[in-house]
């Protein structure tokens, strides 16, 4: 599937004038750079940054037994403890 898409893109781009081909190349390079930039941090870094933006009083509202009773909090199942 990816190869078919790449071939279709190639067929369409190769008939463009050189200046338009350069525009396409710049567009693709920007998209690749943007994707690399977004994925450059480990997930735990992203989670840390997000968690730091949550006020302490909001963290205190969360149940302390969430890992044990997650079915209760998510689906309404009876609590285990």
User: 59-78, pLDDT tens digit by residue?
Assistant: 999 888 888 998 998 999 99
Are 21 and 13 spatial neighbours (Cβ–Cβ below 8 Å)? yes
31 and 57 in a single domain? The answer is: no
User: Which position has the token pair 């710049």?
Assistant: 26
Range of the domain at 11: 2-38
Domain count, the chain: 2
Q: What are phi and psi of 79, to 5 degrees?
A: -70, 145
Residues 55 and 27 grouped into a single domain? no
* 5-38 confidence digits (pLDDT tens): 999 999 999 999 999 999 999 999 998 887 666 6
71 domain-assigned: yes
Instruction: Assess whether 51 and 65 both reside in one domain.
Output: yes
The verdict on residue 69 lying in a domain is yes
80: in domain: no
- Say if residue 30 is in the same domain as residue 55: no
């Amino acid at each position: 599937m990816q190869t078919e898409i790449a071939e279709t893109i190639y067929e369409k781009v190769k008939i463009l004038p050189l200046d338009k081909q350069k525009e396409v190349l710049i567009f693709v390079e920007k998209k690749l750079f943007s994707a690399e930039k977004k994925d450059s941090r480990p997930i735990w870094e992203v989670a840390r940054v997000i968690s730091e933006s949550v006020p302490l009083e909001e963290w205190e509202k969360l149940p302390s037994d969430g890992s044990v009773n997650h079915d209760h909090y998510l689906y309404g199942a009876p609590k285990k403890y």
